[in-house]
Amino acid sequence: MSKKLSIVVLIKQVPEIEKVRFDYETGRLDRSSATAVINPFDLNALEAGVEIKEKIGGVITALSMGPEKAEESLRDAVARGADQAVLLTDARFAGADTLATSYTLASAIRTLGTFDLIICGEKTIDGDTAQVGPEVAELLGTPHVAFVEQIRDIDKERIIVKTKVGRRYHIIELKFPGLITVTKDVNTPRLPTLRDKLRSRKIPVTTWRADNLSGVAQTEFFGLSGSPTWVARVYSPLGEKRRGQIIKSTPEEAVKIIMDVLKNLNILR
């Protein structure tokens, strides 16, 4: 039998964004009421990996960088179909911007050995940069296609994907090894069954510290020291308000006012 496709899925544990509260007085984020979940776009990445595995066979490694408790999310990834899980956790990884994060993830992928396909979510809901996927690809010297909306075909040599570039969709063939980032449109992630959840309890999550990557990486490029960008200030975006006329009248009168506004703007043609 020929060798199995080696798939790496990048996972980030994020707070449920709707439950993060922002204190406009102090400028602080309160995440205490937010539970930690797998970044929703990463669920699409994982599902894409599982569908590929079901179709042509493969081994899926879920890889995440984060605090110790990110292990929960990796276990969730195993319940959803990953075969193994690696958590990168170390105080030296903390405070990383996208470049340092990408460097650390790329170093871990090198340490894992060879890969055919890396799959990431298009972005995370907390960082919202969409930068880590393409940066990891560059650091590994591998091609990538970002914002994949559909996987059209796959075999052991290449994947054919659909992505929007400018005004059009491009159907692109990517030869392995390579990386894709996927949008929500690529699939609908399945929920793990109770059996999957129980099984995932028995699979060990491998934990790697900075020293585990020292064979392929320079530790000064990890975490805060490896991060060229820094946050100088945060503030509320709703400084300027333009509260105009408030209309509390009958629907007919309100429509009359709206019609006048539209007429004055020369919108009715």
Partner 1 sequence: MFLGEHRDILVFAEQEDGEIHQVSYELLGKGRELAEKLGVGVSSVLLGHVIGKKATELIHRGADTVFLYDHASLGDFDVVRYTVNIMKLVEEERPEIFLMGATRIGRTLAPRIAAALRTGLTADCVDLDLDANGDLIQIRPAFSGNIMAQIKTKTKPQMATVRYKVMKMNEKNPERKGEVIRREAEIIDDTGTRILEKIEADEVDLTEAEVIVSAGRGFKKPEDLKLLEQLAEALSGVVGSSRPLVDAGWISKDHQVGFSGNIAKPRVYIACGISGAPQHLFGMRDSDVIISINKDPSAPIFNVSDYGVVGDFYEIVPILVRELKKERSKEDT
**55 closest CA partner among 81, 94, 93:** 81
Q: Cβ of residue 146: shortest distance to partner 1, in angstroms?
A: 4
**Counting contacts by CB under 8 A, is residue 167 touching partner 1?**
yes
CA 234 to each of CA 24, 32, 33, 143, 147: distance values in angstroms, whole numbers, following the listed order? 10, 19, 21, 35, 28
Q: Is the dihedral of CA 83, 129, 30, 208 positive or negative?
A: positive
- List the one residue from 195, 201, 202, 243 that touches partner 1 (CB under 8 A): 243
**Counting contacts by CB under 8 A, is residue 118 touching partner 1?**
no
| Six-digit token string for 148 | 């994949």
Residue type, 129: T
- List the one residue from 12, 53, 80, 144 that touches partner 1 (CB under 8 A): 144
- List the one residue from 4, 17, 36, 67 that touches partner 1 (CB under 8 A): 17
**Counting contacts by CB under 8 A, is residue 135 touching partner 1?**
yes
Q: Cβ of residue 95: shortest distance to partner 1, in angstroms?
A: 13
What residues numbered 77-116 form the site for partner 1, per CB under 8 A? Answer: 97-99, 102
Sole window of 4-12, 71-79, 132-140, 201-209 interacting with partner 1 (rule: CB under 8 A): 132-140
Task: Assess whether the previous peptide bond of 40 is cis (omega < 30° from 0).
Answer: no
Q: Cβ of residue 8: shortest distance to partner 1, in angstroms?
A: 17
**Counting contacts by CB under 8 A, is residue 232 touching partner 1?**
yes
What residues numbered 206-225 form the site for partner 1, per CB under 8 A? Answer: none
Sole window of 1-9, 44-52, 73-81, 143-151 interacting with partner 1 (rule: CB under 8 A): 143-151
**Counting contacts by CB under 8 A, is residue 142 touching partner 1?**
yes
Report yes or no: 59 and 83 within 8 Å, Cβ to Cβ: yes
Say which DSSP state 149 is in: E
Residue with tokens 């945060």: 234
- List the one residue from 62, 96, 118, 139 that touches partner 1 (CB under 8 A): 139
Residue type, 91: A
For residues 202 and 233, which CB has a smaller minimum distance to partner 1 in the complex?
A: 233
Report yes or no: 170 and 45 within 8 Å, Cβ to Cβ: no
| Collapsed DSSP state (helix, strand, coil) of residue 28 | strand
For residues 30 and 54, which CB has a smaller minimum distance to partner 1 in the complex?
A: 30
Sole window of 78-86, 113-121, 144-152, 194-202 interacting with partner 1 (rule: CB under 8 A): 144-152
Residue type, 52: I
Q: Cβ of residue 125: shortest distance to partner 1, in angstroms?
A: 7
- List the one residue from 1, 191, 194, 268 that touches partner 1 (CB under 8 A): 268
How far, in Å, CA of 213 to CA of 51, rounded? 30
Q: Which residues does 150 contact at the CB level (< 8 Å), separation at least 6?
A: 161, 162, 185, 186
H or E element that contains 74: helix 71-79
Q: How many residues touch partner 1 (CB under 8 A)?
A: 81
**Counting contacts by CB under 8 A, is residue 56 touching partner 1?**
no
**Counting contacts by CB under 8 A, is residue 238 touching partner 1?**
yes
